Chain A
Amino acid sequence: MMNDNRVTIFASIAGLALLITLPAIFGSYYLGLATKMIIFGLFAMSLDLLIGYTGLASLGHAAYFGVASYATGLLALRLGWSVWWALPAGVLVAGLTAALFGLLALRARGSYFLMITLALSQVLWGIAFGWRSLTGGDDGLPEVPRPDLGLPWSLADNTPFYYFTLVIAAIATLLLLRVVSSPFGQSLRGIRESETRMLALGYDTWRYKFIAFILAGLFAGLAGVLYVYYNRFVSPDYIHVARSAEVLLMVILGGAGSLFGPALGAAVIVLLENIVSGYTERWLMVLGVVYVLVTLFAPDGITGVVRRLRQRQGGRA
């Protein structure tokens, strides 16, 4: 049997090669779908930092995704800001929102934490829905322009935009990998297993959770910025609890605490949504069924199933 590290490296290289050559294989439509998968993969990885690594189950993660979408959308549309300013501004607004919400939500634990994150995100949803003069209310903000990088290729086309997304998501993924494998990331895992033990070892765990919360908000914001450019549109749906639940399911389906697992979970959900929406409007019901099935049959997600299969093989060999 190949050793674990080599399998991982091999899979990473193969995956990256596939992602780079994708535009040569797929037509424009499927490339758009792949772009969406990458964006939601990043979104799911940002939530995994909270759920899988720190043990904080947030049901309001769409808040940071959505607030960044609105910030970037408004800045690009109303003030004509270029991507060089609108993208960091969107990410920053998401980070600041996460810092504010973190101050409020991290006072609670477990299901209370979950309820507070949910409530806070719904407050933002209410603002986006109600403040028509700024956000366009239910109609949202249409015709957000695609970014202009000053390159010979226009990002209005799907292929250049796919590469734009891929490069940014790849950089973000490397940063996230750095975070989770750093001593800071190890401390987060310690907190997930037992906060009391970490306190007794001299860790001001609140500060660690707060930083993790802001980091997760920043990366979710980056995904939100990419998505507003991708869709050229933002609406209150971006912040809605249904989106928070969707990304939560992506993390659980992929397997929390493995970073790549949630990205895979995101790809599966995006694909499934795309297929299902061809047949029925009741996507949320299908999502609910998937959630029940995963909880029943694969509580540790796709990565958990793969790990168990490999252990079984290893046992036989």
Chain B
Amino acid sequence: MTMLTIDDVHTYYGDSYVLQGVSLELEPGTVVALLGRNGVGKTTLVRSIMGLTPAARGRITFKGTDITRMPTWRIARSGIGLVPQGRRVFRSLTVREHLQVTARGSGGWTFDRIVNLFPNLGNRMRSQGGKLSGGEQQMLAAARALVGNPDLLLMDEPTEGLAPLMVRDLGQAIASLKAAGTSILLVEQQLAFALRYADLVYIMSKGRIVHQCTPAELAADPETKSRYLGV
């Protein structure tokens, strides 16, 4: 069964017509990268999947269940973890409290395994979210989603504003998540980062999916890259 199917989704923010018929599929255990310039609707798509900005038309199916109009918290409980853009950790909760509050279900993401994956967090268990560095906050946002033991992880621009060393650590974490069989929808602006970990690439422009290919195909296609990604 397909993990996530997005079928002709249309989403509005008030009067502005953001998603104009997006379709996308994600198979279990794969990493799908969603690329595109700023403002093409990538984050809106993530918000539509989570039910934060529900789709006006179209259908979103997760593990065979229609989640298009489910309340957000039910969507999260059904097994989708969100690592939101800009990290958005809870400033007043400590690292430990973050992980306690969000731990749910049984799927192998225990405390110890999290600390193994993100050693930095292990040293900062008692620090408040607001006092962590940007990289540590990103790790915490990912850890917070993982302790909920999701089947699918939505990562919205995880490398944004991170130092190169932190980007490397994050890449290693994504690689081990992939090896462990977690499905990931990776929204990215950094082309090289996305290409390294993705199995499949979708490119968005002006609220639509305009291109779909493998990373190798995209790497060898300078025209598409310059047209939609400006690189």
Contacts and interface: CB of A to CB of B under 8 A. Distances in A.
Interface of A: 183, 186-187, 189-190, 193-194, 196-205
Which of B77, B84, B93, B101 has the largest number of chain A CB atoms within 10 A?
B101
B91 A193 contact: yes
A189 B92 contact: yes
B90 interface: yes
A197 B97 contact: no
10 contacts: A187-B101, A189-B90, A189-B93, A197-B90, A199-B73, A201-B144, A202-B77, A202-B104, A203-B76, A204-B71
Contacts of A194: 88, 90
B76 A199 contact: yes
B221 to A, nearest CB: 34
A8 B153 CA distance: 41
Interface in B84-99: 84, 88, 90-93, 97
Contacts of A198: 73
Interface in B70-126: 71-74, 76-77, 82, 84, 88, 90-93, 97, 100-102, 104
A187 B90 CA distance: 10
Contacts of B52: 196, 199-200
Contacts of B144: 201
A300 to B, nearest CB: 13
Contact of B76 (A186, A187, A190, A202): A202
Contacts of B101: 183, 186-187, 190, 201
Given A194-B90, A200-B84, 15 more contacts: A186-B93, A186-B97, A186-B100, A189-B93, A190-B90, A193-B92, A193-B93, A194-B88, A199-B72, A199-B73, A201-B101, A202-B74, A202-B77, A203-B76, A204-B71
Contact of A183 (B76, B84, B100): B100
B36 interface: no
B148 interface: yes
B149 to A, nearest CB: 10
A200 B72 contact: yes
A189 B91 CA distance: 10
B50 interface: yes
B217 to A, nearest CB: 33
B148 A202 contact: yes
A201 B97 CA distance: 14
A190 B50 contact: no
Contacts of A199: 52, 71-73, 76
B213 to A, nearest CB: 30
B73 A204 contact: yes
The 5 closest A-B pairs by CB, nearest first: A202-B76, A199-B72, A202-B77, A200-B82, A204-B73
A201 B100 contact: no
Contacts of A196: 52, 72
Which of B50, B93, B102 has the largest number of chain A CB atoms within 10 A?
B102
Nearest to A187: B101
Interface string B50-71: 1010000000000000000001
A6 to B, nearest CB: 16
B54 to A, nearest CB: 12
A201 B84 contact: no
Contacts of B104: 202
A194 B91 CA distance: 10
Which of A183, A200, A201, A204 has the largest number of chain B CB atoms within 10 A?
A200
Contact of B50 (A187, A189, A200, A203): A200
Nearest to B100: A183
Contact of A200 (B76, B91, B100): B76
A212 to B, nearest CB: 15
A197 B92 contact: no
A196 B82 CA distance: 11
Nearest to B97: A186
Which of B50, B76, B91, B144 has the largest number of chain A CB atoms within 10 A?
B76
